[in-house]
Structure 1
Amino acid sequence: MSVPPPPHARLPDGYAVRLAGGTRRVEGGAALLGGSPLRLLRLSPAARDLLDGDRLVVSSAATAALAARLLDAGAAVPEPAGPAPGPGDVTVVVPVRDRPEGVARLVAALRADPATAAARVVVVDDGSVDPGALAAAAGPAEVLRHERPLGPAAARNTGLRAATTGAVAFLDSDCVPLPGWLDVLLPHLADPRLALVAPRVVALPPARPGWTTPYETAVSALDMGPEPARVAPLSAVSYLPSAALLARRAALGEGFDAAMPVAEDVDLVWRLTAAGWRVRYDPAARVAHEHPAATGAWLRRRAVYGTGAAPLAQRHGGLVAPVVVSPWSAVPVVLALTGGRAGRVAAAGVLAVSAAGLARRLAPPGGAPPYRLAAGLVLRGTAAGVRTLARAATRHHWPLTVAAAAVSPRARRAAAAVATADAVLAWWPHRAEVGLPRFAAARRMEDLAYGAGLWAGALRAGSARALLPARPPGG
């Protein structure tokens, strides 16, 4: 499925960007180090003059071009301003099947929020068993019906086709938008090249919490975290969940791929970014989501998420690879882990050669190679490679890890150490929210379920593409 190309239009005057929290100036201010993936951005003298401090306000073609470059590198975050659709130019689309209570709750929340009180709400009944109950729960909302279930992607597309407004908000029936969410997201559409923007999806407190509730509240797969971000494959935020999205209607073309029962949101984001559209995540807007409280339902959902990798691999190739790591990062790790003392010496040599080569590539014209900066970047990349390989061993490729542990005591010890370290490092930022034993057990259960779904999906597709590693672009 194709999407239309973005317009050849610049950011409007008054639109501003500020350097992202992880971006820092280097080379005396002549370059910026930041973005995702991490990169070095050299600034021309003119660009240095335009970037006053850490903030840039668009006032000309030159400032618009620089602001766009910083946004597209992930080195800056926007402070949007300029013409954008208002609340009256938004259609809210709710795809649903057999959830009248959730629809009633969602419609009530929309009516209680001044920004959406008068919005057109289209509920798409995807073949519910009791359509009358759903229509009654929808109240004043318009209801469109599929006589038989076609899936959430098809239901969203039905709502998209019915919309005539400039913007379309997609909200799942198990969501409750928090007041002000739309006021935060709409200004982003002042960027004429922005196709999608999403809020932060937080946990809706369950009526009856389950054993996994504290873990899911802390690290839900739908929660993209506390920092605003550019969204693109192979970046820190590589996709957005379709549970809550605001879209520019003209950018979506035919919409979601209805042939995908899962991961259709990832596919849409990647098709849009490949076409040149911008996609953003803004956690200042929040939508609460009713996470599964029962452990069995939670694990089944994780397994279903895993099955989405195979169809994504068929459509997007290596972008879905479970391990994306440069050989310059992977080789030292393998040498250090398997080669004993000689391997560790060899690993240090590989890192030194890599750092020296990177320093030469980073050297400014006529300047000395920045060996210290290059060494830091190589060590940082190697640490990221270690985390990637460890995560794959406990999540994506755990069947291989289990097989190795079954025949090798050394592999058993390594697997236990990696699984423990992975759990502790992931738990530490959330230590005030959930205890370590529960977090570690839930993380291992989640990874087992996701990995099982991943392998089942690959077997069903008859392709191992979703299981294979890939090199990063330029790596």
Structure 2
Amino acid sequence: MTLPHGFVVVLDRHTRVLDDGRALLGGNPTRLIRLAPRARPLLTGRTVYVRDAASAALADRLLESGLAHPAVHALPCHPGRRDGDDPSCTYVIPVRDRAHQLARLLDSIPSGSPVIVVDDASRRPDLINAVAARHHAHMVALPVNLGPAGARNAGLRHVSTPYVAFIDSDIVLTAETVPTLLRHFADPQVAMAVPRITGLATTEAPGWLGRYESTRSSLDLGAHPAAVRPGTPVSWAPSACMVARVDILTETGGFDERMRVGEDVDLCWRLVRDGWRIRYEPSVEAAHEHRAHMGDWFARKAVYGTGAHPLAQRHPQNIAPVVLAPWSTALVLALFAQRRWSLPVAGTAWAVATARIARKLKDTDHPVRHATRLTADGTVSAVAQGSALLTRHWWPLTVIGCLASRRMRRATVLAAITDIALEYRRGTTRLDPIRYGIARRLDDLAYGAGVWISALRGRSTAALRPRMVLNPRTPQRQPARKASPQGRTSQAR
């Protein structure tokens, strides 16, 4: 399967064009791609327009490596769309005792769209029935509570259109959310597309927890487009709002109904494992009613953490809380050790890593400059991961260590401050540092507690063990593939 004519991709903001357009550096993991002479004219500025087999092969390669993303608004509207209505997509809404939220969501869905409301054993099913009937939605009533995964699968079995949009009842859509996501399916390898999840403006949202969630929500994957893939900055996608191909979900069995939490992460990783693509498209949004009361908010964060062990059982290679290379491990350990030799050891590790990367980039202009930038980015990532390990994933061990060691206390304070400083560096917070820091630590305590609860229940430390990449994929020279109709690194099954 190849990209159709008219498809457009744009280089990622972190992708660097080197040697006057002869090479590209970027992607996840970072790699160096040399463009063959006949491939260079296909890159117009930072854009590739698919006009023939050669440009389709180049665009596909850039998408697969994370060097570029679809220019979704330059793609044609989905063929089934008519005046905002898309009869090729059915909306499936699982709900339990949220009649008011359901009505609000249904008001935001384009009129005439096929809608299936799955009542997951509500205590007042009459209220759900009344709202669904008022909006002409098809009702599926479940006699027992199956949870989000089971409710979505029950709705999926009633879908007759080629695409399905799973929308949680506490979401409000914009008119362009689903139609824009459907454009991504011009790529025949895309199985799912998701929007950015933002905070819904409610009377409770202006509170400090509401403002924290608008900055650091567990469902908000950021402001930049990405391929959803384990081991990358966007490693999963929330099921609060997602659009998918019905035939692919049917083949894979849909959501794992044994999972009450983390079922969306599991589905994403199974689709990627099978060779499909998932696109994160932040140019369109879905507003989510975040929890703003302390008790509900803290409990929900802990529930998120309890999905760690089930995911570790199914995807042990993807669940490690920290993934570091040997050099970054040495650097972080040296810094947190706070000894006289800490800075020399950390500096040596940094210099060795920079020299190794520079050797791999020796055929480019300014290899040391590029290597220095890559190592600096790796250092920031390593310090952030180490800080999260102390304050989030391993905080019960950190507390014990702080009781016995002054050095551990200093390391923990440093980790907490570093964590907040890195967040403020992005300039996205809506809280002062004190309240943001308190909310962030409570968030970490709740999630970390959930991870430890799941590990104890499962009698396994798999979800808590860091992973060291002994042979990290540093920048590699890779020739652009020859253009061919079969120009994919793997075919979806």
After TM superposition, the score normalised by the length of structure 2 is 0.89
SS, match of residue 10 in structure 1: coil
CA offset at residue 425 of structure 1? 2.6
Query: 1:428 and 1:352, CA in 2 relative to 1: closer, same or farther beyond 3 A?
Result: closer
Match of 1:312 in 2: 311
CA offset at residue 362 of structure 1? 3.1
CA offset at residue 225 of structure 1? 1.3
Aligned residues: 460
For the residues of structure 2 that align with 1:43 and 1:473, how far apart are their CA atoms? 29
CA offset at residue 411 of structure 1? 1.1
Instruction: After superposing the two structures, state which structure 1 stretch, 56-65 or 378-387, moved more.
Output: 378-387
For the residues of structure 2 that align with 1:430 and 1:248, how far apart are their CA atoms? 36
Contact 1:211 1:295 in 2 (8 A): no
For the residues of structure 1 that align with 2:331 and 2:125, how far apart are their CA atoms? 60
CA offset at residue 354 of structure 1? 2.6
Match of 1:241 in 2: 238
Q: Deviations over 1:14-63 (max 9, x none)?
A: 00101111211123322212223333222222222221211111011111
The question of 1:181 aligning with 2:177 is answered: yes
CA offset at residue 102 of structure 1? 1.2
For the residues of structure 2 that align with 1:292 and 1:344, how far apart are their CA atoms? 43
CA offset at residue 431 of structure 1? 6.1
CA offset at residue 121 of structure 1? 0.4
Q: Which amino acid aligns with 1:212?
A: L
Query: 1:434 and 1:349, CA in 2 relative to 1: closer, same or farther beyond 3 A?
Result: closer
CA offset at residue 428 of structure 1? 4.5
Instruction: After superposing the two structures, state which structure 1 stretch, 153-162 or 334-343, moved more.
Output: 334-343
Query: 1:165 and 1:141, CA in 2 relative to 1: closer, same or farther beyond 3 A?
Result: same
SS, match of residue 212 in structure 1: helix
Structure 1: 5+ residue runs without aligned partners?
1-8, 111-115
The Cα RMSD (Å) is 1.9
Contact 2:19 2:365 in 1 (8 A): no
Instruction: After superposing the two structures, state which structure 1 stretch, 261-270 or 246-255, moved more.
Output: 246-255
Match of 1:221 in 2: 218
For the residues of structure 2 that align with 1:134 and 1:228, how far apart are their CA atoms? 36
Instruction: After superposing the two structures, state which structure 1 stretch, 448-457 or 133-142, moved more.
Output: 133-142
Match of 1:382 in 2: 379
The question of 1:117 aligning with 2:114 is answered: no
Match of 1:372 in 2: 369
Match of 1:104 in 2: 103
After TM superposition, the score normalised by the length of structure 1 is 0.93
Instruction: After superposing the two structures, state which structure 1 stretch, 444-453 or 421-430, moved more.
Output: 421-430
Query: 1:441 and 1:368, CA in 2 relative to 1: closer, same or farther beyond 3 A?
Result: closer
Match of 2:489 in 1: none
Match of 1:463 in 2: 460
CA offset at residue 85 of structure 1? 4.6
Question: Of residues 200, 219, 232 in structure 1, which corresponds to 2:196?
Answer: 200
Match of 1:113 in 2: none
Contact 2:312 2:463 in 1 (8 A): yes
Question: Of residues 11, 17, 23 in structure 1, which corresponds to 2:3?
Answer: 11
CA offset at residue 267 of structure 1? 0.6
Match of 1:60 in 2: 52
Query: 1:337 and 1:207, CA in 2 relative to 1: closer, same or farther beyond 3 A?
Result: closer
For the residues of structure 1 that align with 2:431 and 2:394, how far apart are their CA atoms? 27
Alignment of 1:344-359 (within 5 A): 344-359=343-358
Question: Of residues 430, 435, 438 in structure 2, which corresponds to 1:441?
Answer: 438
Contact 1:300 1:449 in 2 (8 A): yes
The question of 1:391 aligning with 2:388 is answered: yes
Match of 1:126 in 2: 120
CA offset at residue 197 of structure 1? 0.4
Contact 1:31 1:41 in 2 (8 A): yes
For the residues of structure 2 that align with 1:177 and 1:19, how far apart are their CA atoms? 28
Q: Which amino acid aligns with 2:116?
A: V
For the residues of structure 2 that align with 1:432 and 1:420, how far apart are their CA atoms? 15
The question of 1:45 aligning with 2:41 is answered: no
Question: Of residues 147, 153, 156 in structure 2, which corresponds to 1:157?
Answer: 153
Q: Deviations over 1:304-344 (max 9, x none)?
A: 00011111111111311100111111112323442733343
For the residues of structure 2 that align with 1:142 and 1:472, how far apart are their CA atoms? 50
CA offset at residue 358 of structure 1? 2.5
CA offset at residue 133 of structure 1? 1.4
CA offset at residue 376 of structure 1? 3.0
SS, match of residue 287 in structure 1: strand
Query: 1:218 and 1:337, CA in 2 relative to 1: closer, same or farther beyond 3 A?
Result: closer
Q: Which has the higher helix share?
A: 1
For the residues of structure 2 that align with 1:258 and 1:11, how far apart are their CA atoms? 34
Query: 1:205 and 1:136, CA in 2 relative to 1: closer, same or farther beyond 3 A?
Result: same
CA offset at residue 432 of structure 1? 6.2
Contact 2:92 2:115 in 1 (8 A): yes
Q: Deviations over 1:198-237 (max 9, x none)?
A: 1111111122344411111222111111111111011111
Alignment of 1:219-298 (within 5 A): 219-252=216-249, 253=251, 254-298=253-297
Match of 1:145 in 2: 141
CA offset at residue 148 of structure 1? 0.4
Q: Which amino acid aligns with 2:119?
A: D
CA offset at residue 363 of structure 1? 3.3
Query: 1:368 and 1:240, CA in 2 relative to 1: closer, same or farther beyond 3 A?
Result: closer
Instruction: After superposing the two structures, state which structure 1 stretch, 144-153 or 206-215, moved more.
Output: 206-215
Q: Which amino acid aligns with 1:138?
A: A
Match of 2:66 in 1: 74
Contact 1:330 1:382 in 2 (8 A): no
Match of 1:33 in 2: 25
Q: Deviations over 1:117-154 (max 9, x none)?
A: 11110001111122111110112111101100011101
For the residues of structure 2 that align with 1:393 and 1:53, how far apart are their CA atoms? 43
CA offset at residue 414 of structure 1? 1.7
For the residues of structure 2 that align with 1:206 and 1:276, how far apart are their CA atoms? 40
Query: 1:340 and 1:363, CA in 2 relative to 1: closer, same or farther beyond 3 A?
Result: same
CA offset at residue 377 of structure 1? 2.0
Instruction: After superposing the two structures, state which structure 1 stretch, 75-84 or 184-193, moved more.
Output: 75-84
CA offset at residue 380 of structure 1? 2.3
Contact 2:91 2:115 in 1 (8 A): yes
Query: 1:453 and 1:166, CA in 2 relative to 1: closer, same or farther beyond 3 A?
Result: same
Structure 2: 5+ residue runs without aligned partners?
473-493
Query: 1:166 and 1:337, CA in 2 relative to 1: closer, same or farther beyond 3 A?
Result: same
CA offset at residue 417 of structure 1? 2.0
Q: Deviations over 1:418-471 (max 9, x none)?
A: 212212331343566222221111001000000000100111111100000113
Match of 2:481 in 1: none
Instruction: After superposing the two structures, state which structure 1 stretch, 182-191 or 269-278, moved more.
Output: 182-191
Q: Percent identity?
A: 44
The question of 1:93 aligning with 2:92 is answered: yes
Query: 1:317 and 1:54, CA in 2 relative to 1: closer, same or farther beyond 3 A?
Result: same
Match of 2:404 in 1: 407
SS, match of residue 319 in structure 1: coil
Q: Deviations over 1:397-418 (max 9, x none)?
A: 1111111111011111221122
Q: Which amino acid aligns with 2:245?
A: R
Contact 1:354 1:378 in 2 (8 A): yes
Query: 1:425 and 1:47, CA in 2 relative to 1: closer, same or farther beyond 3 A?
Result: same
The question of 1:330 aligning with 2:319 is answered: no
For the residues of structure 1 that align with 2:196 and 2:279, how far apart are their CA atoms? 11
